[in-house]
Structure 1
Amino acid sequence: MAIWLMKSEPDEFSINDLKQNTREYWNGVRNFQARNFMRQMREGDLVLFYHSSCKTPGIVGTAYISKEAHPDPSCWDTQSVYFDPKSSPDAPRWDQVQIRFDNKLKKTLTLTTLKSLAELNGFPLVAKGNRLSVMPVEDKYWKVIQPILEFDATDSH
């Protein structure tokens, strides 16, 4: 099982939205590196759900990959904000995965806290200027993060 971190702006799609919907397609990714990471995801892989571009950015919960990468139809939908004129159903450029809610944290594991952990030096999330919305979490970083995740026992799925 691989571990991934996926960022979402909570005013667009939050951990609470995922909890309510149970499953959701992770679409609209328009960065080739993030898309390529999504193509490596396998059903059952763990996702650290991260809120970005908000007052307190950080890890807010977990999910699992429930459907592997496949074409994102928003890329050829002319009415979509994610429309890409270089993409078509015959030659899609962009993919999506489906994720399934797992659990919500009692409190956000903040970016500030993550940056304060020397053991996470080198983790792309804490690198200055990193804006990638999807990234792998190497085992050495997972071993640091996992023990400090505080799950809300009432929120598990």
Structure 2
Amino acid sequence: MTSTDRKYWLMKAEPDSRVVKGKDVKFSVDDFEAARATPWEGVRNFEARNLMKEMSIGDKILFYHSNCKSPGIAGFAEVSKEAYPDYTAWDSSHPYFDPKTKQDDPKWFMIDATFLSRAEHFVPLSLLRHIAESAKSDPPDEIAYIGTDGMKAVKAMPLVTRGRLSVQRVSQECWGIIQMMSEKGGWEEMTFGKKKPSTSTRPRQPATKNSRAKTNSTNNDGGGSEVEGKVDASEEPDIKPKKGKKRKASDVDTGTQKVTVPHRRSVRTKKED
């Protein structure tokens, strides 16, 4: 494969423990380095699956820590086996079992990825967002080495323009910039990712059930919870839950005639799967 044929990707995994159906689905850069190579199983989102089906052996991967306190790029990897059926979807004991997929007509696919190296300097999402939100075309002095082209490349990343998808395209230019940043660092003394103090004089309103539910369903990657395997919990799965039975309306006797009163719908915000 020539450099012009090679494609570049970002793939997310959760570095912190999260137990699903009795199994811990964490997969950190430490786990990846120890395993050296791994199947990328458990993806249950059609767009992410389709992107994996486009991958070729030798494509490069930014390995990203997600759904954690400090999300960001932790290492580098490459595709070592092209897309093939994800057999974990047929395993009823697996955290991401899908009863609607069949072995003779597979719906979900995975690739194999091989670990290449750790990022010498962890590249945090907060830094990438700081760059993306900057109105300036020139980079901060601490990372002047990325230049204006580096600023443009980071600002165009789906990670900062869209965020939630667990498999994303990365431009060749952006791959080079991220690799350079991981080697050189320099942002340790920068202040970013901190919320500015509020200047509002209005009294703070007490939290409601709706606001608490909305807050609890988000994470540091800017998305809600998801159902994913060796990826993060910020992407919505394309596995629809079974629908419950519809409740019938109640008849209320007012003394003169019966009035049909529909059941009141809950006003609570339903947490995303």
TM-score, reference length from structure 1: 0.89
Q: CA deviation at 1:78?
A: 1.2
Amino acid aligned to 1:124: P
Q: SS state of the match for residue 150, structure 1?
A: helix
Could you list the runs of 5+ residues in structure 1 that have no partner in the other structure? Answer: 152-157
Corresponding residue of 1:155: none
Does 2:67 match 1:57?
no
Q: CA deviation at 1:127?
A: 2.2
Q: Deviations over 1:19-66 (max 9, x none)?
A: 101101100001100000000111111110000011110000001111
Q: CA deviation at 1:122?
A: 3.0
Give distance in 2, aligned partners of 1:30 and 1:95.
Answer: 9
Matches within 5 A, 1:104-115: 104-115=118-129
Root-mean-square deviation (CA), in Å?
A: 1.5
Give distance in 2, aligned partners of 1:144 and 1:63.
Answer: 16
Q: SS state of the match for residue 179, structure 2?
A: helix
Does 2:50 match 1:22?
no
Matches within 5 A, 1:5-154: 5-11=10-16, 12-118=26-132, 119=152, 120-127=154-161, 130-150=163-183
Give distance in 2, aligned partners of 1:141 and 1:23.
Answer: 24
Q: SS state of the match for residue 131, structure 1?
A: coil
Amino acid aligned to 2:174: Y
Count matched residues: 150
Q: Which has the larger radius of gyration?
A: 2
- Alpha-carbon contact 2:65-2:74 (below 8 Å) kept: yes
Could you list the runs of 5+ residues in structure 2 that have no partner in the other structure? Answer: 1-5, 17-25, 133-151, 185-273
Q: SS state of the match for residue 30, structure 2?
A: helix
Q: Deviations over 1:89-139 (max 9, x none)?
A: 1011000111111000123100011112242223210125x2100011023
Percentage identity across aligned positions? 45
Q: CA deviation at 1:8?
A: 0.4
Runs of 4 or more above 6 Å deviation:
none
TM-score, reference length from structure 2: 0.53
